[in-house]
Amino acid sequence: MKDFSRAPDDALEVYGTKLASRLFVGTSMYDSPAILADAVRASACEVVTVSLRREAGGSRAGGSFWDLIKSMNVRVLPNTAGCKTVKEAVTTAQMAREVFDTPWIKLEVIGEDDTLQPDVFGLVEAARILSEDGFEVFPYTTEDLVVAEKLLGAGCKVLMPWGAPIGSGRGLNNVFGLKAMRAHFPDVPLVVDAGIGAPSHAAQALEMGYDAVLLNTAIAKAGDAVAMAHAFKLAVAAGREAYLATPMEPRDMAAPSTPVFGVAFR
């Protein structure tokens, strides 16, 4: 009988690094550093994202925050949050590499203020520049298949399509588009990034075959951030286990679960 007391040996591999957890967690907006640390531990995540502001690059402002992050025994995925141009994103990424001594970068090039939708044209250009410079790029993108192809051509080996606008908590707005991306790129690690608001959203993404989810606001702004982090840990694990078990296909008509053979009829 299968041993369900431990997670299956089913590591996620990104840029040659194997990760047991399929949950990436952001580090902003928590009520205190202590709550942040407790939430990260409760989530059992192995990767946290950190936004690097340009003014912190030279002065090392916020040094105590960086020290806290580094003390958590997790991998740091710096991001270019808030960048609106290719030049700004590339410069921020280069600074992040110096501060955190990592080639990983979550690349954001924002094109629209209300939805924080990526500027996919600038995103592809920045991804190409950074990949050629030795970065391992995690691009925050849309579910557009053409853009995805161009990002892969630019050197990205991971894609991070949005579920919904950042911080909206709406879940998976375009399930059809996300399923199409999963089917079109069966061998590319795909991470749903942005818009996740509840553990059920995370479980749905993993059940669809997505490799991981990245979220921040859903944990940081929950009534109990630590408990919510643990809930997301369980949801991601359940979603992945369900995907591996192969869920039944939905159908339009009822199908009796109890056999009708031997039942008396009038």
Q: How many Å apart are CA 210 and CA 58, to the nearest integer?
A: 38
244-254 residue pLDDT tens:
999 888 888 88
User: Lowest-confidence range among 50-59, 64-73, 129-138, 209-218?
Assistant: 50-59
Quote the pLDDT of residue 261. 63
pTM equals 0.89
**What's the pLDDT at 55?**
39
Nearest to 187 by CA among 10, 13, 4, 2: 13
Confidence of residue 51 (pLDDT cuts 50, 70, 90): confident
- Measured distance CA(163)–CA(175) in Å, rounded: 8
Out of 70, 106, 157, 233, the active site residue is 106
- Over residues 229-246, the mean pLDDT reads 96
pLDDT at residue 64, as a whole number: 80
Confidence band, pLDDT 50/70/90 cuts, at residue 62 = low
> Which sign does the torsion angle of CA 246, 252, 256, 261 carry?
negative
Mean pLDDT of 4-12: 67
Question: What mean pLDDT is predicted for residues 49-65?
Answer: 62
pLDDT band at 65 (very low <50, low <70, confident <90, very high): confident
pLDDT value of position 53? 61
Q: How confident is the model at residue 41 (pLDDT cuts 50, 70, 90)?
A: very high
Listed in sequence order, the residues at least 6 apart from 215 whose beta carbon sits closer than 8 Å to its beta carbon are 23, 24, 25, 26, 194, 196, 202, 232
Q: Tell me the per-residue pLDDT of 77-121, one tens digit each, with 9 for 90 and over.
A: 999 998 999 999 999 999 999 988 899 999 999 998 889 899 999
Query: Which of 59, 87, 77, 26 has its CA nearest to residue 225?
Result: 26
Of the listed ranges 65-79, 135-149, 168-182, 186-200, the least confidently predicted one is 65-79
106 is catalytic: yes
How does residue 59 score in pLDDT terms, banded at 50, 70 and 90?
A: very low
* CA 90 from centroid of its chain's CA atoms: 21
Both tokens of 235, joined, read: 């949801």
Task: Show the DSSP H helices in the chain as ranges.
Answer: 33-43, 54-59, 63-70, 86-100, 120-132, 145-153, 175-184, 199-207, 217-220, 225-245
What whole-number percentage of the chain has pLDDT above 90?
76
Two tokens at 77?
């995925």
Give residue 4's pLDDT band: very low, low, confident or very high (50, 70, 90). Answer: low
